[in-house]
Structure 1
Amino acid sequence: MLNGVADGREVVFVGGKGGVGKTAVASALGLALARTGRRVLVVSTDPAHNLGHLWGRPVGDSVVELAPLLTGLEIDPARTTDEHLRAVRETMQRLMPEQVHGEVARHLELARDAPGTHEAAVLERIAEVLERRQPDQLVVVDTAPSGHTSRLVALPELMQAWTEGLLRRQDRSARFGAALRGLQRRGSGGRTPDAGERAAADVLGSPPRPGDGPSDRRGRRDAEIRAILDRRRARFADLRGLLQDPARSAFVIVLAAERLPVLESVELHGQLTRAGMQVGALVVNKRSPADAGDLLAARRRLEEGYVAQLAESLPGLPVTEVPLLPEEILGAEGLGRLAAYL
């Protein structure tokens, strides 16, 4: 049963090949746990959101109640990317001189569709959700199809390394700036900055203070950049630590008993393991019945071979098999029927 995967953990990711029922399993798991008295937030990161359709109510980028103790949230990658880039632009334009603001805006507009931009923005949003969750709340993340998911879980390490690289560059820049400020102080002898130095202050772009020289403004700007990068590094380090701690997080792979979903699930398991994340369970969804006519019985026999292949490729992992249900899975009633098998 999947309830054991959530025991004591803060976040459970649910992922797999597209079309295998990830959103339904994530929602049913959340509902089952909420009915035991645990507070649960289901978060969808799939651009093709089904959470609202599944529950029969609007679900967007603000938390909404789905059932008692169960809430839902859909992270819109496009909107999240827009907000992420806008925040970056505002920060850069505040710290950089006015004459380069246009260049900053053009650079960020080009970055909008660059590889990894959406994933980085979604990752920051997930980190924010996890930071703001209630102390006793479990977050169940309904992820996008496998390729997107594997990139997403590998990003915290990459982003942390990238940010640490920026910090090293910032440290070198700060040391150079400190040396330059020392030379300026010794050379100026306390006199009023001349026109050239005032022009340099404009280029440095920091807000003026009475009695400030360009070196003082540059020093404040360096300190603020350092603080921003430190916060970013801490956020990614915390998220990486959470994802790689098997006591705090786990991943559930959902699949169908078919050739391609089995192969893709084995590959996803390898990618998650290399990223340091524990796979807690497998859910084989929509299993054909063996006693409902020759067609479905033949289908069941075919599926048995793929289930055996899965067990051979990923030995030791708990496997939950969910039958093909006769009714459509919609709303709390339908999800409750699915939850009975989890």
Structure 2
Amino acid sequence: MLLSLAASRRVLFLGGKGGVGKTTVATATALAAADAGRRVLLVSTDPAHNLGHIWNRPIGPRAVRLAADLDALEIDPEASVRAHLDEVEGALRQLMPREMGGEIARHMRLSQDAPGMHEAALLERIAATVEQGLRDYDLIVFDTAPSGHTARLMALPELIQAWTEGMLHRQERSGRFDTALANFGRDEGLGDRIVGSAERAPAEGERRVERIRDILHRRRHRFAGLREVLRDAQRAAFVIVLTAERLPVLETVEFEAQLRGSGVQVGGLVVNRRSPGDAGEFLAARRAREEDHLAALAAALPDLPRIELPLQAGEIVGIDALRGFATQLA
């Protein structure tokens, strides 16, 4: 199921509760797709990056080559916020009068810790990565943050696009009001007393308005593109990774409902670290409890395909171990 999705989709998200093995599954999937001849970009959005640990090498915010046809990068949320704020501050300084510089700096300092700022900045980086990645790669595999954080991110494209549409609408209404005000002044013969700055607006002011419009249109296009990708089951799939335990199963059911509410369809489930039933009394008893949890999962999500991966004897580190693990992902 998982390798089939990796062979037929352009974007693959792997998410779930923290500590269930998302990074290992995502990495093995990306490597298998690259070994099959697809150009693959593996992206970590989890603040607790583990890609470098699996590959025994540093991986940062710029794409690095891990294997033939496989590149990887780690999105740093803090760096994304700083880059986002720097871009916003630069735009504001171009748009606003020079004497507002102190106020702009104060506003940006306060904005750094504003609710939702980290999520918005991270989402913009994800949107840009998808936009560029679809041009440069055949497949993008996202190793996402734990499910609660990712569920909020998946809902944001709709909210931010609606906010941007509202800003554009207000900006267009403001422009129409300035034009109407200028025409009213002419019709009434009141000249500069009514028209004022609306009619005598300098070229610099017009450029500011155009710059605002360009920024808003760019953001609308970028988030609309991400929303379309997330909702297109032919191009993208979201796979939830979990273990056969009570809390991961309950969280998976809630996570699937949250994703569905955001218009994101779940393509399947990966149950990781299944206990063997023939390796002693202790593990047999554990497997029996796992069967009960998986029965509850099947009752709650009966239509989702599912694969189960056995508990591994050792750690999965390095390319050979990943390739061996990937043979179980079909």
Structures share fold, TM-score greater than 0.5: yes
Aligned-pair CA distance for 1:93:
0.8
Measured in 1, the distance between the counterparts of 2:137 and 2:70 equals: 13
Q: What do the CA deviations read for 1:27-48 (whole angstroms, capped 9, x no partner)?
A: 0100111111111111000001
Q: What do the CA deviations read for 1:252-300 (whole angstroms, capped 9, x no partner)?
A: 0000100000000000000011111110110000011111111111111
Give 2:253's aligned amino acid. V
Give 1:277's aligned amino acid. V
Aligned-pair CA distance for 1:174:
1.2
Measured in 1, the distance between the counterparts of 2:165 and 2:223 equals: 10
Cα contact 1:244–1:278 (8 A) shared by 2: yes
Aligned-pair CA distance for 1:6:
2.4
How high is the sequence identity, in percent, across the aligned residues?
56
- Secondary structure at the aligned position of 1:143 is classed as strand
Cα 1:104–1:117 shift into 2, 3 Å: same
Task: Tell me if 1:40 matches 2:27.
Answer: no
Measured in 1, the distance between the counterparts of 2:267 and 2:227 equals: 17
Residue 306 (structure 1) aligned to one of 279, 288, 293: 293
Where in structure 1 are there 5+ consecutive unaligned residues? 190-196, 202-211
Alignment of 1:175-324 (within 5 A): 175-182=176-183, 213-324=200-311
Give 2:5's aligned amino acid. V
Q: Which runs of 4+ in 1 moved over 6 A?
A: 183-189
Cα contact 1:251–1:278 (8 A) shared by 2: yes
User: Partner residue of 2:67?
Assistant: 67
TM normalised by structure 2 equals 0.93
Give 2:281's aligned amino acid. D
Give 2:30's aligned amino acid. G
Alignment of 1:77-226 (within 5 A): 77-133=77-133, 134=135, 136-182=137-183, 213-226=200-213
RMSD of aligned C-alpha atoms?
1.9
Measured in 2, the distance between the counterparts of 1:263 and 1:221 equals: 51
TM normalised by structure 1 equals 0.90
Where in structure 2 are there 5+ consecutive unaligned residues? none
Aligned pair count reads: 323
Give 2:18's aligned amino acid. G
Measured in 2, the distance between the counterparts of 1:33 and 1:8 equals: 10
Aligned-pair CA distance for 1:135:
5.1
- Secondary structure at the aligned position of 1:341 is classed as coil
Measured in 1, the distance between the counterparts of 2:201 and 2:181 equals: 11
Measured in 2, the distance between the counterparts of 1:12 and 1:310 equals: 22
Cα contact 2:7–2:33 (8 A) shared by 1: no
Cα 1:287–1:184 shift into 2, 3 Å: same
